[in-house]
């Protein structure tokens, strides 16, 4: 099979490509569109277009797609869309063109036949594109296009799917948002995949949204991503040895000087709430986490204070190791009627 990359022609080379192609080969058929999420409607359409000659597919670049379809599109960037199309047997060549209008690409490629979906007619073709087609005397053909296959319809169907993290037996009367709580489980196996700095920042932002006694917000966060540091950390926290395979570990620390009444208890409560917020946010990002106990084990507290050169008032309380999960666990609550005392 021809390397798909060889079928991709840059917009700058389009005219030269057309020139060298000559006229002895089959008729040149051109169609244009976004072709964002390939589906069977696209494939049927492209196959039928290819029966008319050698098919060149011109696709809108990312900026042009956004102009046409809105800020959430494209889903796949132009180079990926081009590669997918070029991998198809029906497609002879692909070219990414700038902007939302294909008239320039059509003028450069000078197709014998121009193909568009059956949802168009001559009157509804883009006027600029139509003018160029008339000028180069291209035959215009319309191929029926099944609307229910459109990328937009596909995205709507995906959006309507039940949340993958909502347990199947989720009681109808409960808000599925609560599933975020019950699906948080300790994850101790991770994929070798990074978590971006932006995501880590978002997670800690969620932590800082926690309630805090007299709003003292007595927390500080140490974020460990460096591999050598992870190994050092695992030595200090042997019950969390798996953290070396996780993308990062956030060490939630408390500032005893800032805590309400400089109370250790208030500091621990505030930091625990921040840690739980972080773990729920991790779950919301479809990542996995596990809590690693530090406080009140004094040898761990001291070792971490030394490792990160923390001042004495900054007390490491717990680690949260996180990353892309490599294991799945059943959602659950440890609900026990016995623990309820009604008055
Ligand atoms: C304060 C605290 C410290 C913990 N320390 C560790 C730890 O060092 N290593 C570990 O594997 N899990 C640790 N865990 C996770 C618990 O084992 C886990 O939350 C518990 O078994 C319940 O399972 P779940 O998180 O899946 O609901 C810790 C949890 C808490 C709250």
Mutate to test the pocket of ligand 1, among 290, 296, 333 (most ligand atoms within 8 A of CB): 290
Q: Residue 166 has what pLDDT?
A: 63
Q: HSE on the CB side for 69, CA within 13 Å?
A: 22
Helix (H, G, I), strand (E, B) or coil at 124: helix
Residue 7 to residue 31: CA distance in whole angstroms: 15
Q: How far, in Å, is the centroid of ligand 1 from the Cα of 227?
A: 23
Per-residue 3-state assignment (H helix, E strand, C coil) for 294-327: CCCCHHHHHHHHHHCCCCCCEEEEEEEEEECECC
Residue 231 to residue 243: CA distance in whole angstroms: 8
User: Is the distance from CB of 342 to CB of 326 less than 8 angstroms?
Assistant: no
CATH 3.40.109.10 segments of the chain: 176-323
- CATH 3.40.50.1820 assigned to 176-323: no
What pTM was computed for the model? Answer: 0.60
Q: Is 336 exposed, middle or buried (0-12, 13-18, 19+ CB in 10 A)?
A: exposed
Cβ density class 101-123: b for 16+ within 10 Å, e for less: bbbbbbbbbbbbbbbbbeeeeee
Strands 219-224 and 248-255: antiparallel
CB-based contacts of 227: which residues, under 8 Å, 6+ apart?
A: 244
Ligand 1 touching residue 236 (CB < 6 A): no
CATH superfamily, with its number, for domain 4-154: HUPs (3.40.50.620)
Mutate to test the pocket of ligand 1, among 186, 234, 252 (most ligand atoms within 8 A of CB): 186
Q: Which atom of ligand 1 is nearest to the CA of 237?
A: 8
95: nearest Cα among 78, 75, 107, 73: 78
Q: Residue 221 has what pLDDT?
A: 98
61: nearest Cα among 38, 87, 93, 95: 95
| Tokens linked to 331 | 């959602």
**Residue bearing the CA closest to ligand 1, atom 21:** 186
Ligand 1 touching residue 293 (CB < 6 A): yes
∠ CA 197-199-201, nearest 5°, is 70
Q: How far, in Å, is the centroid of ligand 1 from the Cα of 205?
A: 22
Q: Residue 144 has what pLDDT?
A: 83
Binned average pLDDT, 10 residues per bin, the chain of 343 residues: 91 95 82 93 94 97 93 94 97 96 96 90 89 96 77 78 64 74 94 93 98 98 98 98 98 98 98 98 94 98 98 98 93 90 96
Ligand 1 touching residue 292 (CB < 6 A): yes
Q: How far, in Å, is the centroid of ligand 1 from the Cα of 39?
A: 44
Q: Which atom of ligand 1 is nearest to the CA of 242?
A: 11
**Residue bearing the CA closest to ligand 1, atom 8:** 292
CATH 3.40.50.620 segments of the chain: 4-154
User: Is the distance from CB of 189 to CB of 325 less than 8 angstroms?
Assistant: yes
Q: Residue 210 has what pLDDT?
A: 98
Phi-psi map region of 147: left, alpha, beta (phi>0 left; psi -120 to 50 alpha)? alpha
37: nearest Cα among 98, 101, 82, 81: 81
CB-based contacts of 123: which residues, under 8 Å, 6+ apart?
A: none
Q: How far, in Å, is the centroid of ligand 1 from the Cα of 320?
A: 10
**Residue bearing the CA closest to ligand 1, atom 30:** 291
Q: How far, in Å, is the centroid of ligand 1 from the Cα of 2?
A: 53
Q: Residue 73 has what pLDDT?
A: 92
Q: How far, in Å, is the centroid of ligand 1 from the Cα of 292?
A: 6
Q: Is 320 exposed, middle or buried (0-12, 13-18, 19+ CB in 10 A)?
A: buried
Q: Which long-range contacts (CB under 8 A, 24 or more apart) does 230-234 make?
A: 232/307, 233/304, 233/307, 233/319
Strands 54-60 and 314-323: unpaired
User: Is the distance from CB of 312 to CB of 305 less than 8 angstroms?
Assistant: yes
37: nearest Cα among 136, 198, 154, 122: 154
Mutate to test the pocket of ligand 1, among 235, 291, 328 (most ligand atoms within 8 A of CB): 291
Q: How far, in Å, is the centroid of ligand 1 from the Cα of 285?
A: 20
Residue 308 to residue 16: CA distance in whole angstroms: 61
Q: Give the C-alpha distances (Å, rounded to integers) separating 263 from 183, 211, 266.
A: 33, 16, 5
CB-based contacts of 146: which residues, under 8 Å, 6+ apart?
A: 41, 44
């Amino acid at each position: 099979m021809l390397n798909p990359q060889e079928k991709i022609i840059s917009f700058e080379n389009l005219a030269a490509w057309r020139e060298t192609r000559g006229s002895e080969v089959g008729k040149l058929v051109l169609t244009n569109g976004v072709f964002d999420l390939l589906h069977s409607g696209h494939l049927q359409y492209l196959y039928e277009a290819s029966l008319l000659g050698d098919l060149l597919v011109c696709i809108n670049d990312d900026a042009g797609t956004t102009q046409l379809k809105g800020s959430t599109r494209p889903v796949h960037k132009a180079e990926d869309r081009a590669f997918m199309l070029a991998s198809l047997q029906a497609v002879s060549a692909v070219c990414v063109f700038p902007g939302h209008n294909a008239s320039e690409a059509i003028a450069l490629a000078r197709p014998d036949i121009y193909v568009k979906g059956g949802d168009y007619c001559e009157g509804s073709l883009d006027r600029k594109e139509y003018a160029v087609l008339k000028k180069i005397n291209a035959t215009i053909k319309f191929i029926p296009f099944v609307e229910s296959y459109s990328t937009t319809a596909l995205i709507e169907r995906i959006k309507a799917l039940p949340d993958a993290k909502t347990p199947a037996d989720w009681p109808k009367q409960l808000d599925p948002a609560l599933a975020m709580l019950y699906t948080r489980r300790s994850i101790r196996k991770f994929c070798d995949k990074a978590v971006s700095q932006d995501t880590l920042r978002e997670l800690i932002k969620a932590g800082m949204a926690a309630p805090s006694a007299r709003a003292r917000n007595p927390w500080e966060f140490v974020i460990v991503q460096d591999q050598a540091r992870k190994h050092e950390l695992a030595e200090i926290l042997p019950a969390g040895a798996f953290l070396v395979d996780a993308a990062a570990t956030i060490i939630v620390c408390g500032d005893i000087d800032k805590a309400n009444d400089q109370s250790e208890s208030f500091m621990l409560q505030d930091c625990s709430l921040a840690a739980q917020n972080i773990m729920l946010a991790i779950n919301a990002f479809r990542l996995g986490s596990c809590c690693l106990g530090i406080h009140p084990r004094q040898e761990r507290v001291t070792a971490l204070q030394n490792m990160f050169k923390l001042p004495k008032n900054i007390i490491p309380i717990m680690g949260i190791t996180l990353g892309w999960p490599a294991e799945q666990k059943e959602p659950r609550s440890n609900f026990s009627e016995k623990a309820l005392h009604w008055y």
